[in-house]
Structures are given as C-alpha cells and as structure tokens.
C-alpha cells in the first residue's frame, strides 16, 4: 500500500478483513460477501499491516526473542534496551530473532503526529481547534500485509477490494484523506526455521488456550455499519503459539447480516525458548 497521505493507525488484520469484506459487499453484493467469508474462513489468511521502506520490510518484534534478549545479546544492556523499544524490526532481523540469534534493529519508517483540525459551532459559529492523531510515513515508505491462500481467491476478492479501498480508505476518515493508498502487489519471502513453535503475524482468537506459549492480549473492538462491536480479547502479533489456526468470530449486532471478526492466526515457524515450553 503506497500511501497517498496519513493513516489513522497501522491496521491490524481484524481491521483489514473488515474493510475487505465491506468492499466485497459494495462491489459484488451480499451473496458474494457470504461466499467470501466462508471461503476465507476455510482456506485463506492475512497478516496485519506492517511498515516498509523502499525494499526493506518490517515485521513485529517476536516474543520468543523478547524473552531471550539477555542470552541473545550476551548481557549487553544497551543493546537490550534499544531492541525492546522497537515495535517492528527488519525482515532479516526477524529471521534471526525467530531463531533466537543476535540481530540488529533499525529506526521505524514512520512517526505518529498530531494534526490540528478546526471545528465550528453550528449556532454561534465559534471555532475551536482540536488535534487528530495520525501515522505519517517516510519518503518511499508505506504499509504492506501478507496473504496466504489460493491465487484465484485473491484475484476474485482481495485484489478488487484493495483497489476499491485505495480510493475510499482504510481505518476511517477517508473523506479527510486518511487511509488512502495506491495498491501494489509483490512477493515477500520469509526464511523460516524448522521450529518447535510459531509466531503469529495477526491477532488471533485461539481454539485452544493451551496452545499459547508466550503472548500478549488486547481487547479489540471497533465499529461496523454504524454499530459498535464488543471488544474481543485477542492474542497479539508477535505472540508465540503452538499449532493453532485460530478461528473466525461471529457477532450479532442487530443488522440484517452477521458480522465476522478475523481471529485466524498467520503462523510463522519459530524457536521457542526451552524454559517456555
């Protein structure tokens, strides 16, 4: 996703799936949306969005490495502190981190800013200034997400949906210029170890809580068709799990159709610390 302007946030896989499903409904209608959700649940998955800069792709800091930083960096406190501050690390560093090998971090290619806005009172016409949080990217920087699934499914649904969303935005306030982008498709290869565990690159709702090894949890909510979705506890990106695909969550918001939250894992093989197993 080559950004045309700022984003509200870096979209998680839950947000991306909801946006894609809404775009499919706008393009094809309700019947095809039900088919899309059913087929996605059975045979496709997407990661959350992550930043890139030029040809360098960043991925979330995996928790297997976070739990082993003292051993990885041989007690070098300055390196440990510098590494812990990074929410994302370059792909080559990620490939070493999931092997519990020493790696090098870099500055993230975006920053969070406050953009001033002006509101007018409808009665008095008095103006007031407020600030809106936004994510802005370095030159040649932007966002990408990973897709794993059949090519024909991507071409039928994901590609057209991303073209639609490029003009309408992801994450809200598209009419203000937020979340707009030019879609671009490329291949990204991650060199995975044999591994005794997995790192998920998307928030997941586990089928079995015993599959969790090292994890962080966040309650994820949001809006859908003008209705507030209940917050669902999700295991976050970078968490270390056993072989658990996660699952879709069905919500009834009083609409003519069900709302689905993407709780499927995007697993990458990794080495878990021995004392965590």
pLDDT in tens, 250-266: 988 887 878 899 999 99
Of the CA atoms within 13 Å of residue 211, those in its CB half-sphere come to 18
DSSP 3-state of 163 = helix
- Tokens 């879609």 belong to 183
- The whole model's pTM is what? 0.90
Structure tokens at 15: 């947000």
Q: Which residues contact 252 (CB under 8 A, 6 or more apart)?
A: 258, 259
The answer, yes or no, to whether residue 209 has pLDDT greater than 70, is: yes
In the DSSP assignment, the letter for residue 183 is: -
Band of pLDDT at residue 125, cut at 50, 70 and 90: low
> Rounded to whole angstroms, what are the CA distances from 74 to 69, 70, 172, 232?
8, 6, 44, 38
Percent of the chain past pLDDT 90, that is, above it, reads: 68
pLDDT tier for residue 126 given thresholds of 50, 70 and 90: low
Q: Is the pLDDT of residue 148 over 90?
A: yes
* pLDDT tens digits for range 14-23: 999 999 999 9
Stretch 48-56: mean pLDDT, rounded?
A: 97
């Amino acid at each position: 996703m080559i950004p045309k302007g700022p984003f509200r946030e870096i979209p998680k896989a839950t947000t991306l799936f909801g946006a894609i499903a809404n775009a499919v409904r706008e393009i094809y209608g309700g019947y095809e949306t039900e088919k899309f959700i059913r087929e996605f649940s059975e045979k496709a998955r997407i990661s959350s969005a992550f930043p890139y800069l030029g040809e360098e792709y960043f991925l979330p800091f995996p928790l297997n490495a976070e739990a082993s930083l003292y051993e990885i960096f041989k007690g070098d406190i300055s390196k440990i502190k510098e590494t812990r501050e990074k929410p994302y690390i370059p792909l080559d560093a990620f490939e070493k981190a999931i092997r519990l090998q020493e790696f090098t971090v870099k500055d993230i290619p975006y920053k969070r800013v406050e953009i001033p806005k002006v509101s007018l009172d409808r009665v008095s016409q008095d103006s007031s200034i407020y600030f809106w949080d936004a994510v802005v990217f370095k030159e040649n920087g932007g966002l990408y997400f990973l897709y794993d699934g059949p090519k024909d499914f991507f071409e039928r649904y994901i590609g057209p949906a991303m073209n639609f969303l490029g003009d309408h935005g992801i994450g809200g306030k598209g009419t203000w210029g937020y979340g707009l982008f030019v879609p671009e498709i490329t291949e990204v290869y991650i060199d995975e170890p044999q591994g005794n565990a997995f790192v998920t690159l998307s928030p997941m709702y586990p089928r079995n809580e015993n599959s969790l090894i090292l994890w962080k949890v966040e309650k994820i909510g949001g809006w859908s068709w003008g209705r507030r979705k209940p917050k669902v506890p999700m295991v976050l990106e970078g968490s270390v799990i056993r072989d658990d695909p996660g699952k879709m969550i069905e919500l009834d918001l009083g609409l003519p159709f069900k709302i689905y939250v993407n709780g499927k894992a995007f697993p990458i093989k990794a080495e878990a610390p021995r004392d965590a197993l």
